[in-house]
Structure 1
Amino acid sequence: MDSKKLAVTIRELADAKKAENITVLDVRGLSTVTDFFVIATGTSEPHLRAIADEITEKLEENAGLRPRAIDGQVPTHWMVLDYVDVIAHVMRAEVRAKYDLEGLWGDAPRLRPRRKAKVKTVAG
């Protein structure tokens, strides 16, 4: 799976667990460490755990991918899932505001989610 598709898949998995304010930063031209950051906010410790578990479990089940490393723990309010070409940051809102990864990587383009097509209904 290429890095862009992996980043989009991680965004979708986080969204499936109702992560908030999901941002995908394309850092390919800015970093030699990774291609994309996916940053997602969880509202509580169980929510952080659910988001991280959804990402790790579904990627292993569906694509055979396991993170190279997982850093941080739920009680720290920031977990990092390192998939080499994509690094997912799952954090509480206050930690996200404090470390401001989007500001730190402000030159990185953001991948916008594709808009879902609206279904037209015909009144009959």
Structure 2
Amino acid sequence: MDSQQLADLAAEACDDRKATDIRLIRVDEVSSLADWMVIAGGQSDVQVRAIARAVEDRLETDAERLPLRKEGVQEGRWALLDYGEVIVHVLMPDERGYYDLEAFWSHGEARAFLPSLHIN
């Protein structure tokens, strides 16, 4: 699984827990830190933790990957999951506005996450 597929999988997991305004930013050409940033919003500390857990579970199950490190999950205001080539940020609205990661990484190629529609 390449880094874009891993980022897409993380974004899908965020969407499964109703994360808001999910953004994927390709940063491999502007930083050696990672290939992709996934940024998602949670409306409460409970939701931020649930989104982070959903990402961990999905990437462990579908990609056999565990985060290299994680920060802030217990506090639930800003969770960071670092998978090496993909870094996932889940933030409450105040933190997202204050840190404005989208502006910080604006020199990367950004796109909104568009969930695939499943028609039965």
Q: TM-score, normalised by structure 2?
A: 0.91
User: Aligned partners of 2:116 and 2:90: how far apart in 1?
Assistant: 24
SS in 2 for 1:111: strand
Kept after mapping to 2: 8 A contact 1:25/1:36: yes
Q: Equivalent residue for 2:28?
A: 28
| Alignment match, 1:62 | 62
1:5-55 deviation digits (Å, cap 9, x = unpaired): 101111111001000010000001110110000000101111011100101
Is the radius of gyration larger for structure 1 or structure 2? 1
Task: Give the unaligned 5+ runs of structure 1.
Answer: 120-124
Check the 8 A contact 1:48/1:74 in 2, yes or no. Answer: no
Q: How far 1:73 moved relative to its partner?
A: 3.1
What is the one-letter code of the residue matched to 1:39?
I
Q: Structure 1 residues 34, 16: closer, same or farther in 2, change over 3 A?
A: same
Change (3 A) 1:55 1:7: same
Aligned residues: 119
Percent identity of the aligned residues?
34
Letter in structure 1 aligned against 2:21: N
CA contact (8 A) 2:52 2:73 kept: no
Deviation at 1:74, TM superposition (A): 3.8
Supply the distance in 1 between the matched residues of 2:76 and 2:116 (Cα, whole angstroms): 35
Match of 2:50 in 1: 50
Given that residues 23 and 113 in structure 2 are in contact (C-alpha distance below 8 angstroms), is that contact kept between their aligned partners in structure 1?
Answer: no
Q: Which residue of 2 aligns with 1:99?
A: 99
TM-score by length of 1: 0.88
RMSD: 1.8
1:7 aligns with 2:10: no
Instruction: Tell me how far apart the structure 2 counterparts of residues 15 and 93 of structure 1 sit (CA, whole Å).
Output: 16
Higher relative contact order (CA 8 A, sep 6+): 2
Distance 1:8 1:63 in 2: 12
Structure 1 residues 48, 11: closer, same or farther in 2, change over 3 A?
same
